[in-house]
């Protein structure tokens, strides 16, 4: 009987340790990419959580699957604005490459028909940082923030995985596993 209680205690302690461990660090989930040919450009998407007590910023990423890895933001610009050369990120109220997000601000990708109906043009800009307040999360998703994988060094095949290292202004680098999934 004591052995059963011991096993239950060990399992409970392990579960509590896992919860407290995730509570004080950055973490991600749902990391994925789409199949892409070598030499092409791909993207990585995930949910990013700042579970620390400190505001911080994602300032870069790296991976051996691509020659260049950058943080990008996709958005929509009206046709008149695009023709006039306005900055793609004006609607976010931010300037000079500093982009932040609050927990509730998640953009959702639009399909081509919605874009056409709205008279808008899809744009994409490189950003130097993504601010994230303590305790908040942000989606890296199609139509919003994402990690661009430029000049892929190998083909990304559905079912494969690769490592992506995220670089933060204050926190230590974090390496995550990205799964390649078919659309």
Which of helix, strand or coil describes residue 174? strand
Residue 14 maps to a domain: no
Helix (H/G/I), strand (E/B), else coil: 23:
coil
Q: What is the DSSP letter of 8?
A: H
Residue 1 in domain: no
For the segment 5-55, what is each residue's pLDDT rounded down to a tens digit? Answer: 443 333 333 333 333 334 468 889 999 999 999 999 999 999 999 999 999
Rounded Cα distance, 8 and 14, in Å: 10
Where in the sequence is the domain holding 67, given as residue range(s)? 25-180
Residue 112 lies in a domain: yes
Q: What is the pTM of this model?
A: 0.67
* pLDDT confidence band for 96 (50 / 70 / 90): very low
SS3 call for 79? helix
6 vs 150, more confident: 150
Q: How confident is the model at residue 119 (pLDDT cuts 50, 70, 90)?
A: low
Residues 6+ apart with CB under 8 A from 22: 51
CB neighbours of residue 110 within 10 Å: 16
pLDDT of residue 25: 86
Q: pLDDT category, 118, cuts 50, 70, 90?
A: low
Does 4 fall in a domain?
A: no
Percent of the chain with pLDDT over 70: 63
What's the CATH number where 62 sits? 2.60.40.1890
Structural domain total, the chain: 1
Residues in CB range of 2: below 8 A, 6 or more apart: none
* Through-space distance between the first and last CA atoms of the chain, rounded to whole angstroms: 51
Please write the tens of the pLDDT for every residue from 60-81.
999 999 999 999 999 876 554 5
Name the β-bridge partners of 140: 46, 145
């Amino acid at each position: 009987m004591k052995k059963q209680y011991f096993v239950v205690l060990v399992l409970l302690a392990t579960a509590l340790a896992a919860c407290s461990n995730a509570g004080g660090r950055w973490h991600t989930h749902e990391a994925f990419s789409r199949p892409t040919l070598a030499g092409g450009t791909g993207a990585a998407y995930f949910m990013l959580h700042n579970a620390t007590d400190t505001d911080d910023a994602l300032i870069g990423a790296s991976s051996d699957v691509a020659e260049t890895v950058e943080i990008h933001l996709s958005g929509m610009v009206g046709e008149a604005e695009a023709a006039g050369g306005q900055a793609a990120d004006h609607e976010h109220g931010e300037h000079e490459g500093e982009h932040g997000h609050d927990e509730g601000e998640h953009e959702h990708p639009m399909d081509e028909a919605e874009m056409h109906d709205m008279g808008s043009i899809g744009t994409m800009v490189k950003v130097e940082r993504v601010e994230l307040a303590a305790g908040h999360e942000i989606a890296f998703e199609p139509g919003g923030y994402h990690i661009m994988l430029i000049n892929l060094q190998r083909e990304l095949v559905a079912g494969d995985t690769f490592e992506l290292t995220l670089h933060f202004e204050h926190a230590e680098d974090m390496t995550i596993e990205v799964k390649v999934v078919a659309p």
